[in-house]
Amino acid sequence: MNYDEFYRKSIDDKVGFWSEQALKLAWYKAPQKILSKDKNGFYRWFRGGKLNTGYLALDYHIEHGRGKQTAFIYDSPVTDTIKKFTYNQTKRQVAKIAGALKSLGVNKGDTVVIYMPMIPEATFSMLACARIGAIHSVVFGGFAPHELAIRIDDAKPKVIISASCGIEFDKVIPYKPLLDDAINQSEHQPANCLILQRPMCEASLVENRDLDFEQLVAASKPAKCVRVDATDPLYILYTSGTTGKPKGVVRDNGGHAVAMRFSMEYVYNVKAGDVFWAASDVGWVVGHSYIVYAPLIMGCTSIIFEGKPIRTPNAGTFWRVIAQHKVNTFFTAPTAFRAIRKEDPEALFMNKYNLNSLKAIFVAGERCDPPTLEWLQNISKLPVIDHWWQTETGWSIVANMMGVEQFDVKAGSATKPVCGYDVQILSEKGRKLGKNKEGYVAIKLPLPPGTLPTLWNDNERFKHSYLKKFKGYYLSGDGGYIDQDGYVFIMGRVDDVINVAGHRLSTGEMEEIIGYHPAVAESAVIGITDELRGQRPIGFVVLKDGKNIEESQIERDLIGLIRDKIGAVAFFRNALVVKRLPKTRSGKILRKTMRQIVDGEAFTIPSTIDDVNILNEIEECIKSRNIGVYCNDLKQHS
C-alpha cells in the first residue's frame, strides 16, 4: 500500500475513510453520523453507534473461535510467577468482577477509580468497568496519596479498586495505607473499596467500606455486556498539565475502539493471534491502549509484566520475556533501553536468547535519543520505530506506519503523520512555517477518532488548554519541525510539562508545592537533561527575607515535600537557593534560559531581561554544586 495515498484519503475524505475502518468492528448498531459536532461545538465521532468495548475485547473473539487462545500472560519476575489466561478464562473473571461492581451499585455512567500494581486484576477490572458501561479512572501506583486524592475528588468514584501492595524491585510497597491516606485527604468519599489481598502484605480493611476483592468476586454473578453509545466515556485518564490540577482526559467508546483496531493493523502491522507486548504500566496511556484495549480488540495475546528492565533480576529480563513468550511486537520507553544499555552495553544478555519471533521494536513516551536508537538498531538488527503520541490522543500522531509502508528511519524523528492527523508547524502568531523551521506542533481539527473529545467536567479548560491559541487547531504542547522529506521531529515540550523516565509530570505543580514551604518566597522548577531518565526536575528557590535557614535543610525539606505530595517518581533531588530568579521586565521567569544554562546549551540573552547579571549567578550556583553541564558523573544524580 502507498502511504501518501492512504494518508491523503484520511485527510481529504475523513468521513469515507473512518466509516470504512469503523465497519471492521462488530457494532450493536452502526453509527448514524460519522463526524458531527456536539452542543459545545466539539467534534464527535460515530454518533448514534451502539457498542460495548468489553464485548469487542473478549466476547466477540470467543464467539469467533478464540476462546482457548491466551489473552493475557502475567509474567512477574518480582513474585516469580508466570500465569496464562485464555480469552474464555479472562471473560469469566471479568464478568464476575463486573457482577461484583454491580452488586455495589455501580452502573452505566458511574465512575470507578483503580489504583493497582501491574497484576492481572488491574486489567480485568478495567475490562469489567467497560462491560457494564462504568467509567474507569486508573491512577498510576507510583503516585502519592495527595495525587490520588486530587483524582478521587475530580472523578468522584462510587467504588475504588486497589490491592494490598505493589512491588518495586525487591521492595514491597503497601498500597492500602496510601489509599486510606488519600481518602482521608479527599472530600469525596467512595461508598466502597474493593481490596485485593496479596500474600506478601495483608491490608487491614475499614469496616462497612472495604471489601475483600476475591471473596466478593467469587460470590458474584457474572454480568452481561451493556450497550453504550459510541460517544459515551469509556475512561478518564488524568495527565499533568501546567498547574497542580491534572487534566482528566476523556476517552469515548466508539472512536477509541476504531482507533485501537486501526493502529494495530496499520501502525504496528499486527494480526490476530500475534503476541504483543507493551512494557509499560496500566497507569499510563500506553498501558490503557497497548496492554489492554488494542491487543484484545485485535485478538492478540498481551503481556502483563510486573518487573523492571533491570535488576528483576538483571538487564536480560526483557529479552527473556520476548524469547519465552514468543513476542512478535515489542513496545517500551527509551528510558528502559537506556537503563539496559548502561548495565549491558554489549548486549551480552540478549545474545543468550532466541529472539526470532520479534519483528519490530516500538518506542515512545519521550524522544528517542539517537545514541539509544542506534544502539538498539545495531544490537537487534530489527526495525526500531520511534513514534510520537500523548495521553490526549491515546494513539500515535506521528509514526512509521509499518502496516502501510516502511520508511527509512531518521534518528531523532518519529517519521511521518499517521492517518487522520493533519500535523502543522505554526509560529507564535499562528502562521504556517516552512520546511525545517521549528515552531509549535499543532494538529488541524478535527482530530481523528480515539482522541480526547473534552476534559472530564471541564469543557472550558479543554478549550483554553488546547483550542484557544490557534483557531481551528489542537495545540499539542510540543515544539518541533518538519523536514524537506516530510519527516516530523518533535523537540520537546514548550510548556511546563517534563518527562522523567517516561513519566509525564508538571513543573508548575512542583512550584505550587514548593510554595507551601514557609521559608520560600518564590521558585522556578525546570526539567534538565538526565542521561537515564531523559529529564529530571531541579528547583531554584528564593527565600523570604529574614529566613535564615541552611541551604541543605531547605533542600531536604523540599525533596521531602515533592516526594510526599507527588511521589518518588518525580525524582526531585536538587533545590538550589538563589538570591533572585531571572525575569523579563514584565515579571515572567525565564525558565527556558535557565534550562539552557544548566544543560550547557547556546542561548541568546532575551532582550526583555530585567537584569542580565542574574544569569551569571545561576551559572555560578550550578557550577558550585556540580549540576547539569558541570556534572560528568551520572551516579551523583541518584
**Which stretches of the chain bind ligand COA, using CB under 6 A?**
141-142, 166, 168, 173, 279-280, 284, 286, 308-310, 332-333, 335-336, 339, 365, 501-502, 532-533, 568-569, 571
Q: How far is the CB of 369 from ligand AMP (least distance, A)?
A: 10
Q: How far is the CB of 249 from ligand AMP (least distance, A)?
A: 8
- Per partner kind, with CB cut-offs from 5 to 8 A, the member of ligand AMP, ligand COA, none near residue 527 is none
Half-sphere exposure of 421 (CA within 13 A, CB side): 28
- Per partner kind, with CB cut-offs from 5 to 8 A, the member of ligand COA, ligand AMP, none near residue 367 is ligand AMP
- Per partner kind, with CB cut-offs from 5 to 8 A, the member of ligand AMP, ligand COA, none near residue 341 is none
Instruction: Label residue 283 exposed, middle or buried (CB < 10 Å: 0-12, 13-18, 19+).
Output: buried
Q: Which of left, alpha, beta for 521 (phi over 0: left; psi -120 to 50: alpha)?
A: alpha
Residue reference for cell 556540580 = 626
- Per partner kind, with CB cut-offs from 5 to 8 A, the member of ligand AMP, ligand COA, none near residue 176 is none
CA distance 444 to 422: 5
Q: How far is the CB of 202 from ligand AMP (least distance, A)?
A: 33
H runs (alpha helix) in 46-198: 53-54, 60-63, 87-103, 120-132, 145-155, 176-185
- Per partner kind, with CB cut-offs from 5 to 8 A, the member of ligand AMP, ligand COA, none near residue 504 is ligand AMP
Number of helices (H) and strands (E) in the chain: give both, helices first: 20, 31
Q: How far is the CB of 568 from ligand COA (least distance, A)?
A: 3
Q: Pick from 139, 147, 146: which is nearest to 112 by CA?
A: 139
Instruction: Identify which of residues 102 and 503 has a Cβ nearer to ligand COA in the complex.
Output: 503
Compute CA 601 distance to the chain's CA centroid, rounded to the nearest angstrom.
28
Q: How far is the CB of 364 from ligand AMP (least distance, A)?
A: 4
Instruction: Identify which of residues 147 and 232 has a Cβ nearer to ligand COA in the complex.
Output: 147
- Grid cell of 115 as nine digits: 489504583
CB proximity list for 578: less than 8 A, separation 6 or greater: 540, 541, 542, 614, 617, 618, 621
Q: How far is the CB of 470 from ligand AMP (least distance, A)?
A: 16
Q: How far is the CB of 253 from ligand COA (least distance, A)?
A: 23
3-state SS assignment for residue 163: strand
Instruction: Identify which of residues 51 and 285 has a Cβ nearer to ligand COA in the complex.
Output: 285
Q: How far is the CB of 84 from ligand COA (least distance, A)?
A: 23
CA distance 333 to 388: 11
Instruction: Identify which of residues 332 and 574 has a Cβ nearer to ligand COA in the complex.
Output: 332
Q: How far is the CB of 16 from ligand AMP (least distance, A)?
A: 29
* DSSP-assigned letters across all residues of 174-216: E-HHHHHHHHHH-SS--SEEEEEPBTTBPPPPPTTTEEEHHHH
Instruction: Identify which of residues 304 and 414 has a Cβ nearer to ligand AMP in the complex.
Output: 414
CA distance 60 to 66: 9
- Per partner kind, with CB cut-offs from 5 to 8 A, the member of ligand AMP, ligand COA, none near residue 533 is ligand COA
- Contact of 404 with 416, CB cutoff 8 Å: no
- Grid cell of 171 as nine digits: 521492595
- Per partner kind, with CB cut-offs from 5 to 8 A, the member of ligand AMP, ligand COA, none near residue 75 is none
- Per partner kind, with CB cut-offs from 5 to 8 A, the member of ligand COA, ligand AMP, none near residue 280 is ligand COA
Instruction: Identify which of residues 154 and 496 has a Cβ nearer to ligand AMP in the complex.
Output: 496
Instruction: Identify which of residues 139 and 576 has a Cβ nearer to ligand COA in the complex.
Output: 139
Instruction: Identify which of residues 66 and 493 has a Cβ nearer to ligand AMP in the complex.
Output: 493
- Contact of 49 with 254, CB cutoff 8 Å: yes
Give the CA distances from residue 69 to residues 14, 66, 274, 287, 296, in Å, rounded to whole numbers and listed in that order. 35, 5, 10, 21, 11
- Per partner kind, with CB cut-offs from 5 to 8 A, the member of ligand COA, ligand AMP, none near residue 310 is ligand COA
Instruction: Identify which of residues 14 and 493 has a Cβ nearer to ligand AMP in the complex.
Output: 493
- Grid cell of 22 as nine digits: 469503523
- Per partner kind, with CB cut-offs from 5 to 8 A, the member of ligand AMP, ligand COA, none near residue 256 is none
- Per partner kind, with CB cut-offs from 5 to 8 A, the member of ligand AMP, ligand COA, none near residue 493 is ligand AMP
Instruction: Identify which of residues 569 and 576 has a Cβ nearer to ligand COA in the complex.
Output: 569
Q: Which residues bind ligand AMP (CB under 6 A)?
A: 239, 285, 364-367, 386-391, 414, 477-478, 490, 493, 499, 504
- Grid cell of 169 as nine digits: 524491585
* HEC secondary structure over 284-340: CHHHHHHHHHHHHHCCCEEEEECCCCCCCCCCCHHHHHHHHCCCCEEEECHHHHHHH
Instruction: Identify which of residues 75 and 147 has a Cβ nearer to ligand AMP in the complex.
Output: 147
- Per partner kind, with CB cut-offs from 5 to 8 A, the member of ligand COA, ligand AMP, none near residue 162 is none
Q: How far is the CB of 554 from ligand AMP (least distance, A)?
A: 30
Q: How far is the CB of 312 from ligand COA (least distance, A)?
A: 9
Compute CA 454 distance to the chain's CA centroid, rounded to the nearest angstrom.
17
Q: How far is the CB of 493 from ligand AMP (least distance, A)?
A: 5
Instruction: Identify which of residues 279 and 513 has a Cβ nearer to ligand COA in the complex.
Output: 279
Residue reference for cell 524491585 = 169
- Contact of 19 with 185, CB cutoff 8 Å: no
